Amino acid sequence: MRAADALVKAMEKQGVDYVFGIPGGANMPFYDALKDSEIRSVLMRHEQQAAHAAEGYARVKRRPGVCSGTSGPGATNLITGLVDAYMDSTPVVAITGQVVRAFMGTDAFQEADIVGLVLPHIKYAVTVKDSRRVVQEFVNAYSVAMNLRPGPTLIDLPRDVQIEEVPNQIDVKPEPQFAKPLPEPDIESIKQAARIIVESEKPVILVGGGAVYSMAGREILELAEHIAAPIVETTMGKGAVPEDHPLVLGVVGMHGRVEADLAVIESDLVVCIGTRLSDRAIGPAKDFQKGRKIIHIDIDASEFGKNVRPTVSLPGDARKVLAELVEYTKHLVAKRPESMLAKKLREIGQAYDEYMMSMDDGKVLHSWKVVSLLTDALPPDTIVTTGVGQHQMWAQLFWKNRAPGTWLSSGGLGTMGFGLPAAFGAKAAAPDRVVVNLDGDGSFLMTCQTLACVADYELPVITVIFDNRSLGMVKQWQDMFYNKRYKDVEYNDRTDLVKLSEAFGVEAVRVESYDELLKVVTRAARSNTALTVDVPVDAGELVFPMVPPGKWLEDVKLPPGFDISQRIVSAGKIS
Amino acid sequence: MMRFVVFVELVNSHDAVAKMLLAVKQGNLGIESINIHSTEDGRNLSAILLLHGEENKAEWLVNKLLNFPYYRSAKILKQV
């Protein structure tokens, strides 16, 4: 059989059921082999969207999403999605076509060194020049995408390699370098960490994306409840634990919940779980480290000390490490009563919610209220995706995730346009669940052609566009840091988003009230139909809280007029 | 600022060498010398890197490389 046929058979054996991509000259043999396969290939409208769809699929299905593009531009168009997957530790396997071996290095038509281009941002990439290695390299790439810290991989197949005859290859296993065992928890370090936890008076647990991937929610709650510690999340950690739990204070950082930021400010210990501790989440590392101990749990040892020097580092899978840590902590200390700090912080959070709702004068639609109403109206296992910008921040502030893997956002790279294709991939992975893409008009316009796939493949996604006719977050920065000198951030009104969606075959409506919004969205959710909702939100909205870039969490800017000085835990800590 | 000697065993491919140097770049490490030789009938390479940079970066580099299947081993031989 051809190497391409052997590859597709190996993919079937691994359980691949979707390939998101676009055929072209150099990956045609691969597509020809797919023609005789049960694998569903989805004809995307741009390869970037194929990569994001694979990400959405992977994060819901908890196994690699597969995407494909031809050589040259087909491959280079995948790059944004692959870098996004790398930053957010998402397992994606990209299969690219390459020009025939004899033409490689000659600047042939549609030739690009895709392996060289993606190398800084990929776990593994290889051009397979020996047809007998095609299956082995795919199995390796598929395995290593999930092994230890997940991430993207790429196999690049010259067209002539794909059509060479190879023997049937059955039961191919990954080579040892591509399937390393999980490190066992280091018991001595865990004992040390347990002692630090017991000594701390105001511990806080910070959960990141690694906690989601490891499904460590139960162990995190067990630890938090035992030591009465509030839980805060990074953008990627949202959903690791149910956000309606009383100890869960929400997202921390630049656009975090005020009560979450305060929890970290007040803490004397932060137990960091599966997070790379980016500046966006914790502000400057020197301030984060000052006056508090840090326990850092991560599958990737290179994260220890990269940004923050931990007091104790615990390498390993978050769930396994936490299970041990909980046991040792329970041996050392009895269950603590509910902390007054956590109670006060929750009250501050409620005060923020109430204040924001009081700002609704009924004249314009407000983003935070849209998110808040939708999170209450939709089923608890709804999968929500976002674009990038102000709407994403409103979503992370007000959307309550109640199950892991229900929050898909571009946390690391911050890729506008992520939301719709990721939602499409998520719907392919979970066709029986409601999938809602909360998008900005700027983000939506970057990848809106995915609507064609939503219609073609009958994978109905609901898109809610927070339409402020601008690049809202950039405008907010120009407002706050560039003396309101707005430049290239405002759109005209000519692009009719309703007509645009309808042109792709997806029903669309522009709503004028919250009631109308809820009516159309809940109807689409109940009937499992695709819908695009254009929501004209207040174009002057600024997202608060906001910690200015480079500043510590104490410097958070609260919504103008929101005074919590009487309720704040430590007076004078917030401006 | 510190100086490090790092030893890396890697598969013999351009990509493995390129990615190692890209990791050195990501760590903002300065290069004083890099020596690379083929071993085991050309299937693998061994590299000795003399680098300088922030105190914790050598450990970061070693751990970072071990995340990727190109690298069979990586260790710090000396830090001054």
Mean pLDDT computed over A124-129: 98
ipTM of the prediction: 0.96
Residue A570 has pLDDT above 60, yes or no: no
Question: Nearest Cα to A468, choosing from A391, A399, A397, A546?
Answer: A391
Sheet containing A462-467: which strands, arranged edge to edge? A407-408, A383-386, A435-440, A462-467, A531-536, A508-510
Long-range contacts from A492-496, C-beta under 8 angstroms, 24+ separation: A493/A469, A495/A445
Which domains occur in chain A, in start order? 3-178 (3.40.50.970), 187-343 (3.40.50.1220), 367-536 (3.40.50.970)
Chain B residues close to A124, C-beta within 8 Å: 68-70
Q: What is the predicted pLDDT for the residue at A574?
A: 45
Mean pLDDT computed over A377-404: 97
Q: What is the predicted pLDDT for the residue at A571?
A: 35
Do A218 and A285 form a contact (C-beta atoms < 8 A)?
A: no
Residue A243 has pLDDT above 90, yes or no: yes
Residue A428 has pLDDT above 50, yes or no: yes
pLDDT tens across A505-517, in order?
A: 999 999 999 999 9
Q: How far apart are CA A461 and CA A524, in angstroms?
A: 9
Torsion from C-alpha of A534, A56, A435, A356, nearest 10 degrees: -60
State the pairing for strand pair B30-39/B44-53.
Answer: antiparallel
Q: How far apart are CA A562 and CA A560, in angstroms?
A: 6
A514: Cβ contacts below 8 Å, ≥ 6 apart:
A365, A369, A370, A373
Torsions phi, psi for A296 (to 5 deg): -120, 120
Chain B residues close to A115, C-beta within 8 Å: 15
Question: Nearest Cα to A234, choosing from A266, A260, A259, A263?
Answer: A260
Mean pLDDT computed over A149-167: 98
pLDDT tens across A291-327, in order?
A: 999 999 999 999 999 999 999 999 999 999 999 999 9
Q: How far apart are CA A564 and CA A348, in angstroms?
A: 7
Q: How far apart are CA A461 and CA A446, in angstroms?
A: 17
State the pairing for strand pair B2-11/B44-53.
Answer: antiparallel
Do A505 and A499 form a contact (C-beta atoms < 8 A)?
A: no
Q: How far is B22 from chain A (nearest CA, A)?
A: 6
Q: How far apart are CA A141 and CA B49, in angstroms?
A: 28
Q: What is the predicted pLDDT for the residue at A572?
A: 40
Inter-chain touch A301–B63, beta carbons under 8 Å? yes
Q: What is the predicted pLDDT for the residue at A568?
A: 59
The SS3 of residue A466 is: strand
Q: Which of B9, B10, B12, B15 to mutate to test the interface with A (most CBs of A within 10 A)?
A: B15
Chain A residues close to B64, C-beta within 8 Å: 302
How high does pLDDT run on average in chain A? 95
Please confirm whether the linkage preceding A545 is cis (ω < 30° from 0): yes
Which domains occur in chain B, in start order? 2-79 (3.30.70.260)
Torsions phi, psi for A304 (to 5 deg): -70, 115
DSSP state of A275: -
**Sole residue written with tokens 């929610």:** A217
Inter-chain touch B72–A177, beta carbons under 8 Å? yes
Q: Which of A117, A118, A306, A307 to mutate to test the interface with B (most CBs of B within 10 A)?
A: A306
Mean pLDDT computed over A72-85: 98
What's the number of CA atoms in the CB half-sphere (13 Å) around residue A338? 8
pLDDT band at A575 (very low <50, low <70, confident <90, very high): very low
